[in-house]
Amino acid sequence: MMSLFVQVLISGLAIGAIYALIATGFSLLSQGSQTVNFAQGDFVVVPAFVMLAANSYGLPIWASFIVALVVAALVLGVLFKRLMVDPILPHGAMQLSIATMALSIVLQNGMLNAGGAQAFPFPGINGGLHFGNIFIDWQSVSILLAAVVAVTALNLFMGRTRIGRAIQASAQGPQVARLLGINVARMVLITFVLNAALVTLAALLVSPIYLVKFDNGIGIGLAAFSAAIIGGFNQVRGAVVGGLLLGVVQNFAATFGPTQYRDAVPMLLLIIFILFRPQGLLGRAEERRV
């Protein structure tokens, strides 16, 4: 029983770490440009297909990852901002959110038409390590490691570098940031590119587990959205904590409860949080002025 508990915990943390990456990108975008991206889940599936395609042309998976990184930075970062966010955001954040829902549908159907409805296998890491009767698989370990490295690197970048601080400043007070001579538009663009990098890494990590399927984005996006809210909306640290918590709870629920309710867990957790702690784990309750 103990061994099962540890295994479920570790694989839960692993999937949670992936949610954390996606939720972090989600929070970055909403902080940096009031973009609540409902296509975030599909943003994970796009680079997964790019990697599969590059891989099928004979590129090793690491090289395919780099190709996907470049494509994602251009398409999901720069083009998404220039062609969708920039023209629509002036009309309102709500309008943009709805437009991203439409984008989600377009992306899913695009991938369905291009790739088909089947789930494609994705190369992963096999094997693992036995500690007595506890089995720890390399896949989970490498996911956790990669996510920890990515989140740490992102935190260092945001907190310790000039550009990172300028990005935070642009998100917290764009007007003041401009007065200090910060190129706010460029900082926002960097945020979009960072999000593209995060979803590409998430694609590399999640695809061996969930395989690559055109509509995977629905569940992944919902989980990331919930993780961001649970952690405390607009909090990068919150997104990490929310992602891990969600991954673990979801994995336990799926192991010890009926599997078909796996995707209901994020919603359930989300409802519980909205009812009892709407500011999330790390968020602060906002004052409402009348």
Partner 1 sequence: MATDTNSPVLMMEGVVGGYGRMTILNGLSFSVARATITTIIGPNGAGKSTAFKAIFGLLNLSAGRIILEGKDVRGFSPAALIGEGVCYVPQGRNIFPELSVHDNLELGGVALGTTKAMRSRVEEALDRFPILRQKARAQASTLSGGQQKLLEIARGLIARPKLMLIDEPSIGLSPLMVKDVFATLQRLRDQGVSILMVEQNARSALEISDNGIVLETGRTRLVGTAQSILNDPRIAKLFLGAEVDLETPASP
- Contact residues for partner 1 (CB under 8 A)? 159, 162, 165-166, 168-169, 172-173, 175-183
Output the smallest distance, CB 228 to partner 1, in A.
Answer: 16
Q: How far is CA 32 from CA 112, 257, 276, 282, in A?
A: 31, 39, 27, 18
Q: Which is nearer to partner 1, 239 or 246 (CB)?
A: 239
Burial 257-283 (b: 16+ CB within 10 A, else e): eeeeebeebbeebbeebeeeeeebbbb
Pick the closer one to partner 1 by CB: 130 or 284: 284
The first and second tokens of residue 75, run together, are: 């398409």
Residue 68's Cβ-count burial label (10 Å; 0-12, 13-18, 19+) is buried
Separation CA 226–CA 208 (nearest Å): 22
| Min CB(24)–partner 1 separation in Å | 16
Rounded least distance, CB 161 to partner 1, Å: 8
Q: How far is the CB of 183 from partner 1 (least distance, A)?
A: 8
Nearer to partner 1, 99 or 189 (CB): 189
- Residue whose entry in the numeric block shows the structure tokens 């939720």: 23
Nearer to partner 1, 177 or 244 (CB): 177
| Token pair listed for 174 | 């764009």
Min separation Cβ 180 and partner 1, Å: 6
What is the spatial distance between Cα 63 and Cα 59, in angstroms, rounded to a whole number? 6
- Whether 97 and 36 have beta carbons less than 8 Å apart is answered as yes
Output 23 or 265, the one with its CB closest to partner 1. 23
Comparing CB distances to partner 1, the nearer of 255 and 279 is 279
For residue 34, the minimal CB distance to partner 1 (Å) is 16
